[in-house]
Each structure stands twice: as structure tokens, then as C-alpha cells.
Amino acid sequence: MKILFIVLLLNLSCTMPSNYNVSNDPKLSIHSFIVDDINGKAFDFASLKGKKILVVNTASKCGLTPQYEELERLYNEYKDQNFVIVGFPANNFMGQEPGSNENIAAFCQKNYGVSFPMMSKISVKGKDMNPVYQFLTQKAKNGLEDNQVQWNFQKYLLDEEGFLVKVISPQTSPMDASIVDWIKG
């Protein structure tokens, strides 16, 4: 049995191209994750296969909070073109998202009419960083780059296969040409 196993391994290793680099072949895509939405229901990222995804960490008491309005406009304009925004409320920056999921959902609806998917409040940095954000910020997991969440409203662009393609600064408007052109492309 050992000999058969070794022969199989040798055959498999011989079929890989010589320039194959395992470190450039991430095992995960965002489609690997299931999280809780803002209402506590399971949200499976696999349901977004075939769509471009913008993931953004949000906060209700931040100078950038008005970006909710632009995010909603972007979502409404392109949601029928295989595009979705997924928001993750986080309280990692100066306590700017102190509310409960219920408070956050009510705030988003009342003030900005948010209709794109919002997830449960998480941590986007530190020891308790959510696994989705570990994926987004670690090259070993996302295959693109190491990065840190700089502030509320940092944007991550993921392709239809669920792989990270670009990280966008928190200060960049959701309606910026770099984002809109990527959606249209």
C-alpha cells in the first residue's frame, strides 16, 4: 500500500509544470466564507460567485460616514450588472461604531436607505480580527498583497471568482472612476 501511495504521489508531482508556484495559488477566495448578516442570519459568500464584490468596513459616527450615500448610489446603479457591495460595521477606529447590530441597521436605513447587504459588526484589525478580514489583509491568504485596514470605509475589490484585485483608500469616494471603471470593465 505504501508503494502504491508513493507511486501516485510521484505521478501527481510529474504532472505539475516546472514553474508552478504554490505560494501564488491561494487556497481561499472570499467564496469560502460564511458570516452572519446584520440580522443574525447566515450569509454565504459562495452565493456571490460570478459577481464583482466591493467589501467595505463601515462606521456610523465617522467623518466618512456620508460615503454610505455614495455606496448606496453605486450599488443601485450597478447591482443588475453582476456587482454587489457587502458592508461590515466595525468599531476599531476611535469607537466610531458603538451601536448594536439593530442600532446600525436602523441608522443605515433611516439616514441612507442602505439596501446593499450589511453584515454583523466585527473587528477588522487586532487579535480578534474577523477571518474575512484576515483573508483580505494577508497575502498568504489573498494571494495579492499584505495590507492593513487604515480607517473606516476602506474598500476591497474582488473579482467574479472571489479573489482580491485591489485595495482602495478609505478617503476615496465609492463613485471614483477607479471603482466605477473596474465595475464596468
pLDDT at 9 over 50: no
Q: Is 62 a catalytic residue?
A: yes
Measuring CA to CA, how many Å separate 7 from each of 20, 42, 140? Answer: 20, 43, 30
Q: Which of 30, 53, 56, 62 is catalytic?
A: 62
Kindly report the backbone phi and psi dihedral angles of residue 106, in degrees, each rounded to the nearest multiple of 5, phi listed first: -65, -40
CB crowding 14-24: b at 16 or more within 10 Å, else e: eeeeeeeeeee
Q: What number is the average pLDDT over the span 67-87?
A: 98
Query: Taking the model in full, what pTM does it have?
Result: 0.86
**Fold assignment, 24-184:** Glutaredoxin (3.40.30)
Domain ranges for the chain, please list them: 24-184
pLDDT category of residue 32 using cuts at 50, 70 and 90: very high
The answer to whether the beta carbons of residues 102 and 142 sit under 8 Å apart is no
CA pair distance 115, 119, nearest whole angstrom: 12
pLDDT at 116 over 90: yes
CA pair distance 66, 45, nearest whole angstrom: 26
> What is the distance between the terminal CA atoms of the chain, rounded to a whole angstrom?
52
pLDDT at 13 over 80: no
